[in-house]
Amino acid sequence: MDMQYLNKIFTPDDVKRLDEKQLTQLAEEIRYKLVETVSNTGGHLASNLGVVELTIAMHRAFNSPYDQFVWDVGHQVYTHKLLTGRYSQFHTLRTSGGLSGFPNPEESEHDVFAAGHSGASISAAYGLSVANTLNQKGSYTVAVIGDGSFTGGLVYEALNNAGRSNTNLIVVLNDNEMSISPNVGAMAKYLAAIRTMPSYYRFKEGVEETLNNVPVIGDHLVKKLVKTKRTLKNHLYHSTLFEDMGFSYMGPIDGHNIKALSKAFESAKDFDSPVLLHVITKKGKGYNHAEDKPSAFHGISKFNIDTGEANSKGTNYSEVFGQYLCELASQDKDICAITAAMALGTGLKDFAYRYPDRFFDVGIAEEHAVTFAGGLAAGYKVPVFAVYSTFLQRAYDQMVHDVAMQNQKVVLAVDRAGFVGEDGRSHQGILDVAFMRSIPGSVIYSPSSYDELGIALKKAVYGEGNVVAVRYPRGKEGYLPVGYRPTDNTYDIFGDEDSNITIVTYGALFSQAVRAAEQLLKFDVKLRVLKLNRVWPIDPDAVKAVFNSKDIIFFEEGIKSGGVGEAFATQLLTNGYTGKYSHIAVDNTFVHHAPIPELLDEFGLSADEMVKEILRRT
């Protein structure tokens, strides 16, 4: 497509210079660019296609970065990036050293607040608006939040707090009836009901247009009309929940009509209270494959534009987990599955179909999911909560107070453990072992193969522990050595058992370790690999098994502080170990976006880097 306008947008001011017809063409160009780029880099497509006109209207009505935009989750900022001087870099999206797939203040002054998890935008935007008020800055702060996020409690804490203020806060409720999975719960039904009552806003728009045509006094009357909004509205239908919480409600508005959106934003500026602007958008708009399958195109790897099919196919850990859980559930009617709006992403689609009475999608509400699971356990059920490692972070207190302290058994299927690659800092699963290890009674398994995943899941369901986690990586099973056989042992040893050099590791890094061992044979270096299957608590016999090694290197695809490597070192020292010990892990930093193989190299965790490390020591 010929980029008549998009390649000429260097600042948001350039958007303001375009007329209505040109803006329509700009939207088409943006959608073409989104599909073209994400097909090559992977990323969040459906959500970005749905907010093209909304983002254009925001940049027409407000003056970024003086006015500030806070994006909930942040995976819908691609258009925002294109309109704020990053068009020439857009082909680098989600690549190492390129543009982030989320807002990044280090990348642009137009990215005010970093994001990656849902539900935080209103709290952050309210904080910014209060700071602007205290600084006597007359700017507007706009939070853009999807309806899926309204299943999370933080949203209501923020609305409750912000509703009584008089700051220049505007909350845009982007209502596309979707999170990753279709929305669930009472709030989804409530928003559906509001969508059927647009009569007020249409009536108000008609009156405004009429009054604007009255010479001299028209604008004054429009402002008077805005001030009496609630009075007019009560003649049409009852107030909304948002107005009861102190917000002036506007909507629903067509989220793909730039003119209507621009007018709505201008009207919102005239209120002397926080405003909630309810817009209706279509996830995936403009690309048929994404419109038909918005969940599949929420976050997608590289794909064929013509067919919509992903370039990489095949079984992955998430799907295998779902298969194993279905097998267990077929034999045990007490097993229940829980997801936080991610049935497809966590492999629970088949479970939901086969056992609908035992499948629970709680929406984007990880804290509630864990406490709900604790309640199920107290009722003698066996809850399995499938959740990405990065999102489990949100439920630490619930794991402590509502599961472990209650002596209840909850199984956590921790997906995307370790590096996840291009999604970057907010999504890397490097903290789960460290924070779960601190919980009394916790047990953590970290399988290195599909078969081990099945074994670990069964042990988690029927074995010891309260908070019991089975953590596994994103993607497919890694390399396994010839003759490899899975066991139900707490640990296994591979390679030369008489070697003076031992690698200790677990999970996906086992593949890197055995590759390193094979490569080192070329240098006449024999290596022993201790693989922890149950990474916590550490089996004392595992420590004894390598105690005679003169050199032990613990490789861990996670944060160093609080990691298993630290605990292993403590047990060695407690038993009087006098040899050399090293712990190579992610040390006191967040992990940026890059392909997983590049991250493994960067942090010294790939087979090649393991070989270099060991050759330096021999």
Residue of 432, 480, 420 whose CA lies nearest to 452: 480
Strand 443-445 versus strand 467-471 pairing type: parallel
Which segments of 42-166 does DSSP mark as H helices, in order?
46-49, 52-61, 78-82, 121-134, 153-162
Cα–Cα distance, 518 to 607 (Å, whole number)? 10
Hey, is 88 helix, strand or coil?
A: helix
Element (H, E) at 275: strand 275-280
Cα–Cα distance, 151 to 78 (Å, whole number)? 24
Question: Are 470 and 340 in contact, with CB atoms under 8 Å apart?
Answer: no
Q: Rounded to the nearest 5°, which phi and psi values hold at 403?
A: -125, -70
For tokens 């303001």, name the residue: 16
From 60, 94, 229, 283, the catalytic residue: 283
For 378-408, the DSSP string reads HTT-EEEEEEEHHHHGGGHHHHIIIIITTT-
Cα–Cα distance, 399 to 236 (Å, whole number)? 46
Cα–Cα distance, 435 to 419 (Å, whole number)? 17
Half-sphere exposure of 535 (CA within 13 A, CB side): 34
Cα–Cα distance, 457 to 472 (Å, whole number)? 11
- One-letter amino acid of 66: Y
Question: Are 54 and 172 in contact, with CB atoms under 8 Å apart?
Answer: yes
Q: Is 366 a catalytic residue?
A: yes
Question: Are 529 and 503 in contact, with CB atoms under 8 Å apart?
Answer: yes
Cα–Cα distance, 114 to 169 (Å, whole number)? 18
Burial of residue 365 (number of CB atoms within 10 Å: 0-12, 13-18, 19+): buried
Q: Is 16 a catalytic residue?
A: no
From 53, 177, 366, 477, the catalytic residue: 366
Number of helices (H), then strands (E), belonging to the chain: the values are 26, 17
From 285, 394, 416, 459, the catalytic residue: 394
What are the residue numbers of the active site? 283, 366, 394
